Amino acid sequence: MKRILFIAYFYPPLGGPGVQRPIKTIKYLKKYGWEVDVLTVADIQFHSYDYELLKESQADNIYKAKSFDVMSIYKKLKPNKNDNKLYFNTPERYKKMVRGLFPIDDKIGWFPFAYKKALGLLRAKKYDAIVATIGPNTSGYIAYKLHKKTNIPYFIDYRDHWTLHTYPHYSCRLLFKHAQRFEKKMLQAACGVFVVGKLKKEQMITHFGENLRDKIEVVYNGFDEDDFLSRRGADCHTQSRSGDFQSPDTPVRIRYVGNFFGHRTIEPFIKALSEMKAENSLPESVKFEFIGNYFIETLKLLKTEELAGFIDIIPQVDHPKAVDFMRTADLLLLFVPTADGDDFVPGKVFEYIRTNVPILAMIPESGEPAQILRELGHKYICHMEDVSAIKAYLKDFFRGENRFEIKYDSAYSRENQTKLFAEHLDRRLI
């Protein structure tokens, strides 16, 4: 058996979107002949936890290294208190200011402890490769330094861009240029690279060199078919109801599962709902449910008084329950700001697709996710900031008109996407 040391700061029991890719990738790498040991962070204060997802871990071993970053320090100050109020009640501008002060990123305090732990593992066992999933970008820095010390080949798995990200990370140009120089060095030394979209691959080649083309493999996040087969019978194919949306006895569940961060905001959507309420075009039977843990800016908008009774906020649930919320909805909401660009492909889109529930996709209309959705029959696509289009699509949905046939494609399953991951590992390590 071949063996990987997989460096993932975000790994269950931590929750949120960042843990999905590593745990699902490792699950299916086992099927394709790889043993995997995980190196993750020791106990920190975090905004969400998912102990159910931890039960899915197929890692042979999970090793933890302590850290000296902001959230680990906060955990040490309040060791007996699992309290995320400080995190969610701190305005984004302050968190952004703190994050921008660090070289590489604000998790650089993990580096000395994770590097030491990993070096001990690499000397004690035979590993064929190191894989680092980023962010945090510190994971890539660790992999690079380990490679320089041991000459073991390493791969970087980009869940999102680093210095090409549209949301600024650094407080000054000096820190940004330092990160940019190191990212190029890291990519050139890597044995292989994974990205979550075709446009991201082309952007990286443009900025960091044509010689990366064969190194980079596109591996979408995908959906895990097991999540959709294990909960309620052999198939969870869900058809949306097209009955009387005006009847209070048949509530319509319109749902968003996830968080809001960076440029992503609920404000235009709330404006659309407020205008519809004023126009008496918002059926009394409709309930908008937001499932997740939200920052103070988002909560203020969701709790707007004029929409009381239409909006429910449900605290973040474990992943199996989140999937149930998705597939039992009448309509799902997807938010990607125009500022995030055409290349941003949220992992959530593939789980949404698998439900066979209609999606109101408020995303860049010319972007990669929009193209995927159109190919699978989805028609409700508009910019996140386009209040008029949001209203028009909601009204169309409430009328039950212009129904369209939607489908999903098994090529986007986690299993099939991880097969591409494993094949790239094998090909590059020859």
Place of tokens 């906020």: 313
Q: How confident is the model at residue 256 (pLDDT cuts 50, 70, 90)?
A: very high
Q: How confident is the model at residue 98 (pLDDT cuts 50, 70, 90)?
A: low
Classify burial at 123, counting beta carbons within 10 Å of its beta carbon; exposed 0-12, middle 13-18, buried 19 or more. exposed
Nearest partner of 217 among 234, 200, 240, 241, judged by Cα: 200
Q: What angle do CA 268, 284, 333 make, to 5 degrees?
A: 40
Q: 14 — phi, psi (to 5°)? A: -60, 145
Report the C-alpha gap between 138 and 205 in whole angstroms.
22
Q: What is the pLDDT of residue 242?
A: 40
What would the CATH number be for the domain defined by 2-222+413-429?
3.40.50.2000
Q: What is the pLDDT of residue 378?
A: 95
- pLDDT tens track for 235-254: 444 344 343 454 556 789 99
Q: What is the pLDDT of residue 83?
A: 55
| Whether the Cβ atoms of residue 35 and residue 26 lie closer than 8 Å to each other | no
Instruction: Calculate the average pLDDT of the chain.
Output: 88
Q: What is the pLDDT of residue 77?
A: 60
Structural domain boundaries in the chain: 2-222+413-429, 228-409
Q: 344 — phi, psi (to 5°)? A: -75, 115
DSSP 71-89: HHHHHHHSTT----HHHHH
Mean pLDDT of 201-208: 96
Q: How confident is the model at residue 90 (pLDDT cuts 50, 70, 90)?
A: low
Cβ partners under 8 Å of residue 423, min gap 6: none
Helices vs. strands in the chain: H and E counts, helices first: 17, 13
Intrachain domains 2-222+413-429 and 228-409 with the same fold: yes
DSSP 128-192: SEEEEEESSTHHHHHHHHHHHHH---EEEEESS-STT-SS---SSHHHHHHHHHHHHHHHHH-SE
Kind plus residue range of the DSSP H or E element containing 47: none
What would the CATH number be for the domain defined by 228-409?
3.40.50.2000
pLDDT-above-70 percentage for the chain: 87
- pLDDT tens track for 286-337: 999 999 988 888 999 999 999 999 999 999 898 889 999 999 999 999 999 9
Over 90: is that where the pLDDT of 128 sits? yes
SS3 382: strand
- pLDDT tens track for 344-357: 999 999 999 999 99
Q: What angle do CA 72, 75, 77 make, to 5 degrees?
A: 115
SS3 202: helix
- pLDDT tens track for 42-81: 977 777 788 888 999 999 999 999 988 766 665 566 555 5
Over 90: is that where the pLDDT of 197 sits? yes
Strands across the sheet containing 311-314: 311-314, 286-291, 252-257, 331-335, 359-362, 381-382
Over 70: is that where the pLDDT of 277 sits? yes
| Whether the Cβ atoms of residue 109 and residue 99 lie closer than 8 Å to each other | no
Over 50: is that where the pLDDT of 234 sits? no
